[in-house]
Structure 1
């Protein structure tokens, strides 16, 4: 599952000024803006790397580069001991923001990466992983709001007009967040059903009729719940490709619950009956077996031989369709992200 770093630094980025002795408050904002712009670019590089590559080392390298850019900015801003003519409130708020961002990206994201490794072991783990990831983003965004508010206080104090950040980079970050959020919502619907489906397949493999029934019931329930959610799901830019891929997956899983499971249980019961009959026949000598017993057993043998072929045919059919359905969802999801998250 790919991690989306929530965008931040949506604040004023003015023309760069190299002076550390500030003649005007605008010069002061420009200097800080130069440092934060570097962080924004590093953030975008990390975001687009997550979106367009599966290389874990490359992703982690860009994460570390982002952390380094935050550390460098903090060091430079810390040297502004007097802020702007003794006014240090905005500088201190910026340093607090950078400190929290560094901790979240460096430490918390490392924990999240570890959670990701076990996320697919259960739906609860996957949900916890996504919630933890979103919580980190919420914390960073909360600090951004504080920072923006403090910047406005500074600007109002010195009669500076600050508009919204309408840069291309800010737009790209906003788009990427929306795309990842849309993908994540559909993935959770897909994963919950897919994970239950794996439980059903394991029960079939173990000839566990009770487990088959339990997982089959859950599979039908979750598929129906997911299909209901899709009816009101708002697709990104009205692109229904991933919604339809999710729907197709849920419909197939529901078919497994309603068609495959009863077929498997029926065959298992027949095979169980055959094994019991064979055990009874084997316990008797040839001379003590009645003609009726022999006829019934032979009839059962023929029935099992016939159903084995049908059973294997049914399993192969569902296995092929399942593989195609899952692959379709995965590819569609990757294409969805690649299509809408800008590359650079």
Structure 2
């Protein structure tokens, strides 16, 4: 499963009436608020596209539009050479924020996309990808904190009251951040067992008994660890659909480790015994084979033929259940995001 890369920008929305001339500090903040509001709206379009669209082209178009809106705002803010009557501290902090945001969204995005391409090759790679993605958000959020602090300093200096952002757009973005974070935490639990399960399947395909045992043990361990985490996991808005889907995956993975793998190992060992015995029989002439050897070999052939049917039936059963369980998690994950991330 591909994890959607998403950047979340804090919204900087200042609720003042529109004005263009800086006769008052409110006019100045209002002008800046108009520019940051445009970025906020574009940011929301990007977030909404990620949440509700499977069209990678559309998502990337909204990302580029977001970068363009930041660039446009930067040009207009840079043009305010004197800020408000020579007070440029807030303006400079805003420009620093815009610069870092553009870099993270534009340049760092490309690096993280490259990381995403190899993320599914190991749990460590996936974890590194998610950490790198979150680091982008952290850097931007740090600048937002500085910006908000400077905005308050400016407002206090000029006796302006600034309330908390209670806009609908701000509420939507806050919800989106929480929903994606909840999904990511459950995804990592899911991915750890899913990746280990893929290693187990590769070991089975290669008839590697040692690797089968190792990955089976790891699968049981990670399944138990995941189930323990779910006991205390706080689902977003008390919606347990993705928690339950994750639990279903973990319970199936544990069953694979405890029921499926031992049967696979037993069949492979029986087949190895058959191949070894057959080689011995083939190296003997018909006349030199004892009745006991022939009877034992025929008994082994009958046993193997019987177990081939059981083995195939067991494989088909678990393959079907595995596909259904993974597909159910993916669909539920998409449903969870679409359900809770607001639509425009």
Q: Quickly name the TM-score band, shorter chain normalised.
A: over 0.9
State how 1:185-334 maps to structure 2 within 5 Å: 185-334=185-334
**Which residue number in structure 1 is paired with residue 44 of structure 2?**
44
Q: 1:54 maps to what in 2?
A: 54
Does residue 1:111 correspond to 2:131, yes or no? no
- Pairwise CA distance, 1:12: 2.4
Q: Give the TM-score taking structure 2 as reference length.
A: 0.98
Contact 1:119–1:129 (Cα < 8 Å) also in 2: yes
Q: For residues 163-178 of structure 1, what are the structure 2 equivalents within 5 Å?
A: 163-178=163-178
Q: How far apart, CA to CA, are the structure 2 residues paired with 1:10 and 1:178?
A: 18
What is residue 100 of structure 1 aligned with on the other side? 100
Q: CA deviation at 1:13?
A: 3.3
Give, in whole Å, the separation in 2 of the partners of 1:213 and 1:195. 16
Q: Which residue of 2 aligns with 1:9?
A: 11
Q: Secondary structure at the match of 2:105?
A: helix
**C-alpha distance in 2 between matches for 1:10 and 1:198:** 44
Counterpart CA distance in 2 for 1:301 and 1:52 is 56
- Aligned 8 A contact 2:17 2:30 in 1: yes
| Aligned residue number for residue 29 of structure 1 | 29
Specify the SS of the correspondent of 2:287. helix
Distance (Å, rounded) in 1 between the aligned partners of 2:4 and 2:132: 14
Shift of 1:33: 0.2
Structure-1 separation of matches of 2:320 and 2:142: 47
Give the C-alpha shift of residue 221 in structure 1.
Answer: 0.4
2:74 aligns to what? 74
Contact 1:7–1:174 under 8 Å retained in 2: no
Distance 1:114 1:223 in 2: 29
> Secondary structure of 2:237's match?
helix
Whether contact under 8 Å (2:245, 2:329) holds in the other structure is yes
Q: Distance in 2 between matches of 1:14 and 1:94?
A: 18
Using the TM superposition, name which of 54-63 and 334-343 deviates more: 54-63
Structure 2: gaps (5+ residues): none
- Match status 1:340 vs 2:340: yes
Separation in structure 2 between the aligned mates of residue 122 and residue 50 of structure 1, nearest angstrom: 24
Contact 1:48/1:342 (8 A) holds in 2: yes
Indicate conservation of the 8 Å contact 1:10/1:164, yes or no.
no
SS at match of 2:162: coil
In the TM superposition, structure 1's runs of 4+ consecutive aligned residues that sit over 6 Å from their partners are none
Say if 2:25 and 2:84, in contact at 8 Å, map to a contact too: yes
Q: After TM superposition, give the deviation of residue 11 of structure 1 in Å.
A: 4.6
Normalised TM-score (structure 1): 0.98
Shift of 1:59: 1.1
Q: Name stretches of at least 5 consecutive residues in structure 1 with no aligned partner.
A: none
Q: Deviations over 1:305-337 (max 9, x none)?
A: 000000000000000000000011000000000
Whole-angstrom distance in 2 between the partners of 1:253 and 1:162: 53
User: C-alpha separation between the residues in 2 aligned to 1:147 and 1:13?
Assistant: 16
Does the CA-based 8 Å contact 1:7-1:177 persist in structure 2?
no
**Aligned 8 A contact 2:97 2:147 in 1:** yes
1: CA distance between counterparts of 2:175 and 2:12?
Answer: 13
Q: CA RMSD in A?
A: 0.8
